[in-house]
Chains A and B, each alone.
Chain A
Amino acid sequence: MPALLRSTFVLVMVLLAISRPSLASEATGNGTENTITTLPIVIWKWEEIHFPYLVALWVLVSWLCKLVFQLNPCLTRVIPESGLLICIGWVLGGIIYGADKVQTFRLQPFTFFFYLLPQIVLDAGYSMPNKLFFGNLGAILVYAVIGTCWNAATLGLALWGCWLGGAMGNIDTGLLQLLLFGSLIAAVDPVAVIAVFEEVHVNEVLYILVFGESLLNDGVTVVLFNVFDAFVSLGGAQIDAVEIIKGIISFFVVAVGGSLVGVVFALLISLLTRCTKNIQIIEPGFIFVLGYLSYLTAEMLSLSAILSCTFCGVCCQKYINANMDERSVSTVRSTMKVFANGSETIIFVFLGISAIDPSIWVWNTAFILLTLLFIFVFRFIGVFLLTWILNQYRLVPLDFIDQLVMGYGGLRGAVAYGLVLLLDENKYKEKKLMISTTLIVVYFTVMLQGITMKPLVTWLKVKRAAVSERTLAEKIQNRTFDHMLVAIEDISGQIGDNYMRDKWNNFEEKWLYWLLMTPIARKSCDPIFNIFHKLNIKDATSYVKEGERRGSLAFVRNESKADVDFNKKFGADFSEMMPYIMTENMGPDHVPVSSILRDSVPSVCLDMHEQDLKMRESEDFDAHHLLQQHLYKGRKQHRHRYSRKHLEVNKDEHEVQEIFQRTMRSRLESFKSAKMGVAPPKKISKHLKKDQPQKMPNGKSADTSKSHAYGDEDLEFSEGDSASGCEAAGGSFPMRAYRGAGIVNPAFMAEMDTMDPMPPMQQIPSWLAEAEVDSSNMVPSQRAQLRLPWTPSNLRRLAPLCLSTHSNDSFLLADSPATQEGISELPPPPPPQDGQGQGTHK
């Protein structure tokens, strides 16, 4: 806590130091620019930038506050973050007020509704668990619409009753004004609710009910607010049955219309992402811009902007996640979170700051206390009543404890505060009282209920969210259940939820997928296949990680079937089995996890790999030695190219192509020469020559590559030797041995590093030549000979991202050296390729 205070204090001082001169200089005005007498070297331009500067500073301050909280986990465990942020707001507000004697910073309704709220709503919609949401949509709507109306009406009427009874003393208000006040404070606030409920992990049905309700009832409350505001403007006398009916119609039009606007925008986004394949960089941008536009458009049409934005997020998520590149999806996700979390933080801090301003406070004990009491009581009554009705129809009834938590989770928040600020002081004489009451209600619910929520949930033993690990079996079974229920409904002749869902699914598959998804995405959108894919990726990642941890990837390239085998073996409890197998089975208590050989293909158990691991280790050492000697240094380890259009700055398409060309050519040649039995002496001399610079490194290259013994060799070759062309070109992969491609390549590097592209017909088998030079090379290169070559499909299995699609072409090119030269002469050769071009031509 002291650390927290210190850091915030420093920040605020900085802030004030900057804002001080602004107040002073604003008075002196703009005349300075014309009256310069000499050329200024630097000028103080605070006035010009003070607005964005302050915004940025506020964001920074609130985030730093958050950072400080997270350093004190014991604090956040007791008090929810939202409450802490409000406290910080009080402290900051106090400091500012103490310095300025007036509250300079205030949450403006416009800022709140147009810059802070949209991203929160969009994020909530976008990350909404879709199936759960639509499965419980009926209940959510009942709570959100009827519940909110109930809250608004009862609070307004009850306050009115008390006011008539004279409990509040002399305040200037009326039934309509109190109903308006009731409607603005009726809504449960998503920001506050999410902030609290995210920390207590209640079961998913309860979560979605509270979350969905809080999200949708914001829309409802804004609509109610507008209707009652219009009624107040009309004045009590003007209101007749027609106006009331109009109000009700307008309520539905605004709410439904807003949702429709959202759906339309969701369709637009999905359609757009269908064709953004070539501009992946701005792909995520579309989501934000269109999401924001859906908010603004609805606002422009005076429809419910919050509902619009929510539905936009909810409806588009499935399609855009399928359409977009995986990276874009994670970009959208994290950026959305950054925005939402950021503005949430700012909102709470400002809710705190706003309180430190004597000019807004009007105290009326009865009004405030009665409001608090009524809000609390009517929320519970409403929840119990509505749940009782819903339970008559629900498959899984909500139990009493769930209802209690729902009722208790009725936190009010920033939306109420934003709305109350919108009130016109001329019409509402008691605006200040309403503001104070709203603030008190917000503080009370967020702080008190927020703090007590977690103990309450624990104490009541609310069903928590089950941590379900997604397994294929579950997914498949879920699918079967769905089909089963539909079939049973058909047989028993009922039109139930499952029937409707099935209808919708069919419709979606038939039309929406066709319309909104790219053909590729359509194929992979099957949930079962999806989870299969994810599990496989997870396996591959931990597989490689594990290999890395052991310091060698030898086992990966051991057999071409290793990966298939791996899947079979580690399919089950992967996370538990993996470390066990990897670490334990070297020891005596090795439990063989029998691999299942059900295919005709020869698959090799991983435990066999393990058994000869020790032998392999020595071989690995040889291999390393060999690689050290004979691999050429990469042209460059990374090629830093800045591009605003592409993410893959360091990906070299040619590299992959070269690898395959080389492999295929060397195989072809060794095959040819073995067949013809030609072994020209030229080759050997070349190798002797090659070894020379390596043994006595010359000064010329020593400085460029100190750590790599063969670095100078590389130089030597690219400058003088004809053999080095493509060898130097592909040499970068020992450096990347942890990447997908790198895993494989060392296996055949030993074999091909001796190959010479120039006289293809007169070459001895490479490993023979090698043997004459250095007998220690024999072992690995023979191993390389025995091993099946890696096919591109194998490669891609392990490294889908590293390899370019060009790799296939290299097969076609491999057997003709002429084409290879052609490639090396491609018109704009990137710098590293120059070396290759030179080498080949000399």
Chain B
Amino acid sequence: MGSTNSTLSKIPNVEELMQETGFTPAHIVRLYDRFEALDKEKTGHLRPQDFGAINRLAMNPIGDRIIGAFFSPGQETVDFHSFVRILAHFRPADKKHPKDPSMPEPVNSRTSKLKFAFQLYDQDKDGKISRAELLQVLRSMLEMQVTEEQLESIADRTIQEADLDKDDAISFEEFRKSLEKVNIDHKMSIRFLR
């Protein structure tokens, strides 16, 4: 417990962070260790290169998009607080504490999880997944097995499925509707962050 406390004391505003993300001190400590391990130059900030150093991430077809999601637009670095906030998207929703309507929506709610997933597609941040954007993701995920033509028709079809207002793009609302039946809390949660 002593080491936990000493680590926690190093982090500024740790109470606030825990309140906001719902992480336990143990989680925070674990993530802080990881953060420091990634932060090779001990600047207190992570740069995209630091993420790039994770070997397995390089093999991930959407790895660069995930990395991109950690950096808010215009920013070159991410500090520990933002790092934890991003990871908090993947905390399972807690059933025991029913949602307090007065509180702002927690970061691990269904909507914010979906928003996170949505922005992975929506690279130009215009609030819509265009055909080209979808095609990019598909191409990276399906690579080699499928021809370009098939890829295009898959993209077309996917957009068709979700596209309700016929603008040839998927808005967030449409995105949410198309995944209505999917249990996002199961699909976008990681066990050890519980």
Which residues of chain A are within 8 angstroms of B160 by Cβ–Cβ distance? 568, 571-572, 596
A599 to chain B, nearest CB (A): 9
> Contact at B120–A484, with CB atoms within 8 Å?
yes
Contact with B along A739-765 (1 / 0, CB 8 A): 000000000000000000000000000
Which residues of chain B are within 8 angstroms of A472 by Cβ–Cβ distance? 154, 157-158, 161
Within 8 A of B (CB), among A106-122: none
Within 8 A of B (CB), among A203-258: none
Interface range on chain A (Cβ under 8 Å from partner):
35 or more
Q: Is A473 an interface residue (CB 8 A)?
A: yes
Which residues of chain B are within 8 angstroms of A496 by Cβ–Cβ distance? 190-192
> Contact at A483–B62, with CB atoms within 8 Å?
yes
Question: Majority SS of interface residues in chain A?
Answer: helix
Interface stretch (choices B2-10, B14-22, B99-107, B138-146): B138-146
Query: Complex Cα distance A490/B64, Å?
Result: 13
Which residues of chain A are within 8 angstroms of B154 by Cβ–Cβ distance? 472, 528-529, 532
Q: Is A479 an interface residue (CB 8 A)?
A: yes
Q: Is A466 an interface residue (CB 8 A)?
A: yes
Q: Is B115 an interface residue (CB 8 A)?
A: no
A532-B157 contact in complex given A487-B60, A492-B87, A523-B145, C-beta closer than 8 Å = yes
B153, closest chain A residue (CB): A567
Which residues of chain B are within 8 angstroms of A397 by Cβ–Cβ distance? 95
> Contact at A396–B87, with CB atoms within 8 Å?
no
A478, closest chain B residue (CB): B187
Question: Majority SS of interface residues in chain B?
Answer: helix
Contact with B along A371-403 (1 / 0, CB 8 A): 000000000000000000000011111000000
> Contact at B190–A480, with CB atoms within 8 Å?
no
A598, closest chain B residue (CB): B168
Q: Is A498 an interface residue (CB 8 A)?
A: yes
Query: Complex Cα distance A526/B163, Å?
Result: 24
B57, closest chain A residue (CB): A490
> Contact at A395–B92, with CB atoms within 8 Å?
yes
Which residues of chain A are within 8 angstroms of B192 by Cβ–Cβ distance? 494, 496
> Contact at A480–B157, with CB atoms within 8 Å?
no
B167, closest chain A residue (CB): A596
B55, closest chain A residue (CB): A490
Q: Is A497 an interface residue (CB 8 A)?
A: yes
Query: Complex Cα distance A572/B166, Å?
Result: 11
Query: Complex Cα distance A707/B59, Å?
Result: 67
B83, closest chain A residue (CB): A491
- Which of A394, A478, A492 is within 8 Å of B182, CB to CB? A478
Query: Complex Cα distance A443/B92, Å?
Result: 43
Query: Complex Cα distance A53/B152, Å?
Result: 59
Query: Complex Cα distance A491/B62, Å?
Result: 13
Q: Is A471 an interface residue (CB 8 A)?
A: yes
Query: Complex Cα distance A488/B189, Å?
Result: 10
A484-B62 contact in complex given A396-B186, A490-B54, C-beta closer than 8 Å = yes
B60 to chain A, nearest CB (A): 5
Q: Is A594 an interface residue (CB 8 A)?
A: yes
A-B contact pairs, 7 of them (CB 8 A): A472-B154, A472-B161, A474-B179, A480-B141, A487-B57, A487-B62, A572-B161
Known: A532-B150, A596-B168. 7 other contacts (CB 8 A): A393-B191, A395-B194, A473-B162, A473-B179, A476-B158, A477-B179, A529-B145
